[in-house]
Amino acid sequence: MNLQSLIEKLTVNLLWLAVTELPADVKKALQDAYMRERNPVGKIQLKAILENIQLAEEERIPMCQDTGLISFYVKASSGFRGLSKIEEALMKAVKRATVEIPLRPNAVNPFTQKNTKDNTGRYIPYIHWSMIDEDYMEITAFPKGGGSENMCALRILKPADGLSGLKRFVIESVVDAGGMPCPPTIIGVGVGGISDVAMNLAKKALLRPISESNPDPIIASLERDLLRAVNSTGIGPMGLGGDSTALALKIEYAHRHPASYPVAIAFQCWAARRATARIHLDGSVECLSHRGRDLL
Amino acid sequence: MKKIELCTPISEENIRRLNVGDYVFLNGTIITARDLAHRRMMKYMAEKKSIPFSLEGMALYHCGPLVKAHGDEWTVLAAGPTTSMRMESFEDGIIENLGVRLIIGKGGMGEKTREAMRRYGAAYAAFTGGAAVLAAKCIKRIIDVKWLDLGLPEAVWIFEVKHFGPLIIGIDSHGRSIYEEVRAETLRRLSGIIKDVISE
């Protein structure tokens, strides 16, 4: 199989896996939230979520009807031949997955309101590229629903407001979002950089496994403090009240300009769908997000 | 919690019995409508054109289902709720003029809808957001589909449902909203939470 057809095939399977089966860390976080939840209405919501996850997995049906707008994160070694053909392979895979799984057609032209019906369009699926000095390539499929995406927020704070401003902005954004982003959510916070960098980092933070804190102990402690604060708001599952407003809060940062302090907040719904494959130079493939799964 | 079984058509009397926080399952007919279908219903009403389905005593579901075509037939694979707040500007008019008794969605609705529900006797029920396969399992049959020209998610799907839920009454016909109550409690806690986290 050449690289292009290999990527196409495995990406259809990655999308299939992403929309039907949550990664083990997300499932565990939801089970833990169910055990901890003290509000009876919140507990009913979490129970329905767990039942739904199981049904979707058993029947290989998308867990949510909103199968999202699709992004890919591609990390590639320059050792691969035919890298310039990967975008085309990913496009084809999305079109195939839309029919085969199926996915809900979600790509709409913002001026004509016309739906392309195949989940592809201008800049969609969006592909984030990075080059790595390794002997492999990694592809993460990241379909993201509209409900949580609609609550993402970006603000350029005054540097004088600094850390206090950041904390206030995070908490207020969670309160404003209420039940809209389908809590319990995962919250990604991107700090610094320029505006687009901040949001990119917030999104990247969502890809980090739930149990993995920021390697910097000071930032890890800020993640814990903010998560605790968010979970004391009482918003709860689906905004109906309870202890579980977020499963995790992850922070990524970049250095900033002296005059600006950008903070971006990306919400991910409980259906935190992602699937990652690693492709080695010899053509062998392993699934990193769902251990032991065959992708070819 | 006590479970309440509700059947369509729903009478005003039965709706008035429901209170915020009640745990409900629905049997009968539900009709999906999201942004574009709401806009078209409003347009038809303004133009005095007849709407090709009846909402009288029915449940309106904010949902754009994922369906699979088999020739001319459809099956519903996933049918969870969409964010109801997007329909806030239309819903009071729909409740007032079309006799709908139950609105099902996620995330809650605003003051205009709450007031229309109080005045005309309707309620809002929350279905767990994203629990779309669970919802599809409760759909026993597609009775009809209208306005397919709006696209698959935006079309009006008429479903026969059995034991559809879990539903939590989020807004009742007595003027109470669980969302406003949760929000009020959150806002009461907010300054303390911010103060604590800033001092950490």
pLDDT of residue B113: 98
Active site residue B38: yes
Average pLDDT, rounded, for chain A: 96
pLDDT of residue B72: 83
Q: How far is B106 from chain A (nearest CA, A)?
A: 7
| CB of A80 closer than 8 Å to CB of A281 | yes
pLDDT of residue A138: 98
Domain covering A3-21+63-145+273-287: architecture: 2-Layer Sandwich (3.30)
Closest to B105 in 3D by CA, of B41, B156, B51, B34: B34
| % of chain A exceeding 90 in pLDDT | 97
> Tell me: the pLDDT tens digits for A59-73?
999 999 999 999 999
3-state helix, strand, coil in chain B (%, to 5): 35, 30, 30
Q: Hey, where are the domains in chain A?
A: 3-21+63-145+273-287, 147-268
Query: How many distinct structural domains can be found in chain B?
Result: 1
As for the ipTM of the complex, it is 0.94
Query: What is the average per-residue pLDDT within A115-123?
Result: 96
Query: What is the average per-residue pLDDT within A212-241?
Result: 98
pLDDT of residue B151: 86
Q: How far is B86 from chain A (nearest CA, A)?
A: 10
A271/B189 CB distance under 8 A: no
B128/A52 CB distance under 8 A: yes
Q: Is A240 on the interface with B (CB under 8 A)?
A: yes
Of the candidate ranges A77-86, B10-19, B181-190, the one whose mean pLDDT is the lowest: A77-86
Query: What is the average per-residue pLDDT within A253-272?
Result: 98
Pick from A30, A34, A41 the residue to mutate for testing the B interface (most B CBs within 10 Å). A41
Q: Which two tokens stand for residue A265?
A: 């907040």
- Whether B1 shows a pLDDT value over 80: the answer reads no
pLDDT of residue A289: 96
A61/B77 CB distance under 8 A: yes
Q: Is A69 on the interface with B (CB under 8 A)?
A: no
Query: What is the average per-residue pLDDT within A118-132?
Result: 97
Q: How far apart are CA A265 and CA A249, in angstroms?
A: 10
- Whether B169 shows a pLDDT value over 80: the answer reads yes
Query: What is the average per-residue pLDDT within B106-117?
Result: 97
For B115, list phi and psi in degrees, rounded to 5: -65, -40
Q: How confident is the model at residue A168 (pLDDT cuts 50, 70, 90)?
A: very high
Q: Is A184 on the interface with B (CB under 8 A)?
A: no
B130/A63 CB distance under 8 A: yes
Closest in A44, A105, A180 to B85, CB measured: A180
Cα dihedral A226, A228, A233, A234 sign:
positive
Q: Which domain holds residue B83?
A: 3-199
Q: Is A115 on the interface with B (CB under 8 A)?
A: yes
pLDDT of residue A221: 97
Closest in A44, A45, A63 to B133, CB measured: A63
Closest in A51, A229, A238 to B126, CB measured: A238
Q: How far apart are CA B30 and CA B53, in angstroms?
A: 11
Cβ contacts of B152 within 8 Å, gap of 6 or more: A104, A105, B64, B65, B67
Closest in A44, A65, A234 to B65, CB measured: A65
- Residue B91's CATH number: 3.20.130.10
Look up tokens 């939801």; give the residue.
Answer: A30
Pick from A58, A66, A170 the residue to mutate for testing the B interface (most B CBs within 10 Å). A66
> Tell me: the pLDDT tens digits for B184-200?
999 999 999 999 999 98
Q: How confident is the model at residue A226 (pLDDT cuts 50, 70, 90)?
A: very high
- Whether A281 shows a pLDDT value over 80: the answer reads yes
- Whether B70 shows a pLDDT value over 90: the answer reads no
| CB of A264 closer than 8 Å to CB of A189 | yes
- Whether B152 shows a pLDDT value over 90: the answer reads no
Q: Is A216 on the interface with B (CB under 8 A)?
A: no
Q: How far apart are CA A263 and CA A153, in angstroms?
A: 8
- Whether B2 shows a pLDDT value over 90: the answer reads no
